[in-house]
Amino acid sequence: MENLFFLDPYCKFREPTFGSYLLHDQPAADFDRTLKNFRTFNQPLNNWDVSKVTNMSGMFSGATSFNQPLNNWNVSNVRHMHVMFLDATSFNQPLDEWDVSKVTNMEGMFHKAQSFNQPLNNWDVAEVTNIRSLFCDATSFNQPLNNWNVSKVTDMDFMFSHATSFNQSLNGWNGANVTSTYFMFDCARSFNQPLNNWNVSKVTDMDGMFKGARSFNQPLNNWDVSKVRFMQEMFYNAESFNQSLNDWNVSNVKNMDGMFNGARSFNQPLNNWNVSNVTNMFFMFCSARSFNQPLNNWDVSKVDSMSFMFYLASSFNQPIQNWDVSNVTDMQEMFRDATSFNQPLNDWNVANVTDMQEMFRHASSFNQPLNNWDVSKVRYMQSMFYAARSFDQPLDNWNLLHRAISLNQTIKLKRHDDMDSESDSVRSDSDSDF
């Protein structure tokens, strides 16, 4: 028998020798999904001879009751441990004696192992290339990993996503071969450790990397991000983050939508950034309540969407008159609730914009000329100036009559001032404005 499987979910394990099952006479054993979804199984396995096993992928996946010692297992020939303890929600046993030096794949190994919190710092992970989702949703885990050699790892996506207790030093890691850190610390709300020594020069995707990492506030300005193409939601709801990023080379970035959305403390210069390849900036500074830095040097000529870009950016009031917005088609709610903004925009080429609904809604300070705008392609203007209490500019040059445009409450300036509040601004408007 070369492969051993226990896949029958109704197996009762009544054999008295099960706890001391011997495999030493077999050529090589595959324990892939051996106890997968055995939700009530919790029997000792410490006497198993697994010395010839090469694959333990998913072995205890979904074994929600299992919590037995395994530390004396000889796993020195195992190469695959991905999702080994996935959803093993009760498991919390030492594994620090394991020889994992031949393992190449640890993807999701402790994913949703919500009780697990054991030392692993002496593991030799030098051959591992994939640690994607390794501690994702491992909500109790908070052990040092600073001794790990991650020099062969290429994928760190979701590694500590929702690992809500984790806050250990990782600054010594050599991640020179990592290409993706997608949502790596997503909602790792306790994490606040230096990462400035990391070599991220091969990373192409940083989408959501610190999304919801509400404690994180460490310097990153020396990172070489020159190959990164995606920074979508990178600091989304990173509520404490306020570090300089002005030296970053973002010239290859295509997508910045929601990058600082909800980063309520962030207020650092970004005017040196070369954003000439960015096509999407919607929600970029939404709810970035402290942000008020110049952006006038930005080349936004390739940007297609700026919807919600400064929505609830209540401090922002910087000149952006020289922006080339000729490719922008969507400006929906762009300055909604940007209560400080009052800068000239009359020179903007908005000839390709089709959606301006709620663009200046509750922009209570805005009062600048817009009469030069070519709005001939705009099809949606409902509530465009709703409760923009200061706005009093002529719009008689706007060409609107030949289009089937929604103008519902486009200019509703002085009425319902009592509705000019944050609580009104964030709720759904489907039942209030039309």
Q: What is the pLDDT of residues 63-75, one digit of tens each?
A: 999 999 999 999 9
For residue 255, list its beta bridge partners: 230, 280
CB distance 23 to 54 below 8 Å: no
pLDDT score of 284: 99
DSSP structural state of residue 26: S
What band does 36 get if pLDDT is binned at 50, 70 and 90? low
Cβ atoms < 10 Å from Cβ of 394: 9
Let me know: does 40 contact 66? Beta carbons within 8 Å. Answer: no
Residues 6 or more apart whose Cβ sits within 8 Å of residue 164: 139, 187, 188, 189, 190
pLDDT in tens, 343-399: 999 999 999 999 999 999 999 999 999 999 999 999 999 999 999 999 999 999 998
Cα 155 to Cα 136: distance, rounded to the nearest angstrom? 14
DSSP designation for 62: T
> DSSP for 368-426?
---TT---TT--B-TTTTTT-TT-----TT---TTS--B-TTTT--SS-GGG-SHHHHH
Round to whole Å and give the CA distance between 285 and 347.
22
Q: Is the dihedral of CA 187, 338, 374, 319 positive or negative?
A: negative
Of 87-96, 147-156, 405-414, the poorest mean pLDDT is in 405-414
Residue 119 to residue 147: CA distance in whole angstroms: 11
| CB neighbour list of residue 300: distance below 8 Å, 6 or more residues apart | 275, 278, 281, 306, 323, 324, 325, 328
Provide the 8-state DSSP code for 360: T
Mean pLDDT of 125-150: 98
What would the pLDDT profile of 171-203 be if each residue is shown by its tens digit? Answer: 999 999 999 999 999 999 999 999 999 999 999
Residue 155 carries which DSSP code? B
User: Tokens representing 127?
Assistant: 């051959």
Q: How far apart are CA 76 and CA 206, in angstroms?
A: 34
Count of Cβ atoms closer than 10 Å to residue 402 Cβ: 7
What is the reported pTM?
Answer: 0.88
Beta bridge partners of 53: 29
Q: What 3-state class would DSSP assign to 18?
A: helix
Q: In this model, does residue 257 exceed pLDDT 70?
A: yes
- From 322, 316, 305, 433, select the one nearest 365 (Cα to Cα): 316
CA of 113: how far to CAs of 63, 65, 135, 330, in Å?
10, 11, 8, 43
- 154/2: higher pLDDT: 154
Whole-angstrom Cα distance, residue 392 to residue 214? 40
Q: In this structure, what token pair is assigned to residue 429?
A: 């408007």
The pair of structure tokens assigned to 58 is: 């998913």
- Quick: pLDDT tens for 301-317: 999 999 999 999 999 99
Between residues 70 and 403, which one has the greater pLDDT? 70
**Residues 6 or more apart in contact with residue 355 via CB below 8 angstroms:** 307, 329, 330, 331, 332, 378, 379, 380
The type of residue at 2 is E
- 278-334 pLDDT, tens digit per residue, is 999 999 999 999 999 999 999 999 999 999 999 999 999 999 999 999 999 999 999
Asked if residues 230 and 258 have their Cβ atoms less than 8 Å apart, the reply is no
Q: Write down the mean pLDDT value for the chain.
A: 89
